[in-house]
Amino acid sequence: MDKLVIKGGKKLFGDIKVSGSKNSTLPILAATLLTDDKCVIRNVPKLRDTLTMIKLLRSLGKTVEYNNHTAIISGAANSSTAEYKLVSTMRGSFCVMGPLLSKFRHAKVSLPGGCVIGIRPVDLHIKGFKALGAAIEVEAGYVIAKARQLKGNLIYLGGIFGPSVLATGNVMMAASLALGETIIESAACEPEVEELSEFLIKMGAHIEGKGTTRLVVRGVKRLHGADYTIGPDRIEAGTFVLMAAATQSTLTIRNIKYAQLLVLVDRLEEAGVRFKKGKDSLTVIGPKKLKPVSVTTYPYPGFPTDLQAQFMALMAITPGVSVINDKVFPDRFIHIAELNRMGANIRRDSGVAVVEGVKTLFGAPVMASDLRASAALVLAGLVAKGKTEIHRIYHLERGYEDLEQKLKKVGAVIYREKE
């Protein structure tokens, strides 16, 4: 196993290119189970999670060729059981359930795993499938769904912490081949759900309201193959923006959709960061002195929970006090202990993180607990005095393609070592 070593204090410069969206790729790959025709998915990032999904598709009988960021998926699935060995490593793999149920009228999918960032039940998925007419059992760590015929229905998918991205996609895929019309109220409207809608429409699905909280899906008899290009990863883009701000750098982030970064830009402008907007790029001009800014995460278009840890690392070196509140995953604060090991002054108080900015962070051995916490530790390492060693970097490899090489090209001193 490798560890990541960073020697901090270097400014970043030049251009850095954002890869395809991981959180769009996973459900779109799963959606290819809805057809036996050939599908071509382009700009697929080479990540642990996308490779796991490709393995899962192959285990279900699909033929998958993956080269040069392009996945060609063909053939018919011959199994409706998604095994524990693969699903347990990645929560996103649970989105095969909707397509399998819709295609086979039967699905057996292991309860999912992934990052340890708090309780993330699959109750909204089950609620949606039941509303479509499926009988559901949870047995020996598997969710088993059966239906003679899925039928459209009016479904409310709001949860106690807001809509669920994965549940919205899962139910939408199941409804695409159901009998009649399905209306999903309180649907997640994240860009990743919109991309899945676009792909399904290219396959022949009838979907209205993409990008809104009300989706109308009219079931069709069959879906055909499609050719689709994955859009940029807004979380990767946001992470690079925050790294530039933290290191007081001027850095151009390429292959972005500016509208998807609007809330982050707004918060950072308040902190003193300046920006120059291009056609599909954003140049970050990090200030010599930052101002503290508090954030609360919400479903899109609110501040993303997936940027909360990285933003906290930035505020850790910002003079003054800021408050970080996560309304999406309230327990997503495991990274506080590791940032404090590097000299940060962060405490939990009544369910929020209170950050008192310090002048300097110091390099230290730290442990990555989840994907976005890992990125926060990389950001902290880039600004810290001395050497930072990040262990368990397989978390980073789940969601950031070639992060080490990308950062090296823009001036960071970062490399791998064997544990």
Amino acid 84: pLDDT:
87
Kindly indicate the confidence band of residue 115, based on its pLDDT and cuts at 50, 70 and 90: very low
Strand-pairing partners, residue 66, are: 71
* Catalytic, out of 39, 95, 115, 189: 115
What number is the average pLDDT over the span 7-26?
A: 97
Amino acid 165: pLDDT:
94
Answer yes or no: is pLDDT of 53 > 90: yes
Residue with tokens 């039941």, as numbered in its chain: 130
Q: Please state whether beta strands 274-277 and 295-297 pair in parallel, antiparallel, or not at all (unpaired).
A: unpaired
Domains 2-19+232-418 and 22-227 agree in fold: yes
What number is the average pLDDT over the span 75-86?
A: 92
Amino acid 113: pLDDT:
58
Per-residue pLDDT tens over the stretch 148-184: 999 999 999 998 888 999 999 999 999 999 999 999 9
pTM of the model: 0.96
Domain parsing of the chain, residue ranges = 2-19+232-418, 22-227
Kindly indicate the confidence band of residue 135, based on its pLDDT and cuts at 50, 70 and 90: very high
C-alpha torsion sign, points 310, 311, 314, 316: negative
Angle at CA of residue 224, ends 219 and 227, nearest 5°: 120
Answer yes or no: is pLDDT of 118 > 70: no
Amino acid 119: pLDDT:
43
Average pLDDT of the chain is 95
Kindly state the percentage of the chain with pLDDT values over 70: 98
Answer yes or no: is pLDDT of 330 > 80: yes
Per-residue pLDDT tens over the stretch 265-299: 999 999 999 999 999 999 999 999 999 999 999 99
Q: How far is CA 119 from CA 32, 38, 122, 140, in A?
A: 29, 37, 10, 19
Structure token pair of residue 266: 């707004």
- Count helices and strands in the chain by DSSP H and E runs: 14, 26
Does residue 115 carry a catalytic annotation? yes
Answer yes or no: is pLDDT of 121 > 80: no
Give which of 156, 26, 120, 24 is closest to 82, Cα–Cα.
26
Q: How many CA atoms lie within 13 A of 380 on its CB side?
A: 39
Answer yes or no: is pLDDT of 116 > 70: no
Amino acid 90: pLDDT:
82
Name the least confident of 83-87, 107-111, 155-159: 83-87
Architecture of domain 22-227: Alpha-beta prism (3.65)
Q: Are 83 and 53 in contact (CB under 8 A)?
A: no
Q: Are 414 and 29 in contact (CB under 8 A)?
A: no
Amino acid 91: pLDDT:
78
Amino acid 277: pLDDT:
97
How far does the chain reach from its first CA to its final CA, in angstroms? 6
| The CATH homologous superfamily of the domain defined by 2-19+232-418 | Enolpyruvate transferase domain (3.65.10.10)
Give residues with Cβ within 8 angstroms of 295, minimum separation 6.
Answer: 267, 303, 308, 311, 322, 324, 325
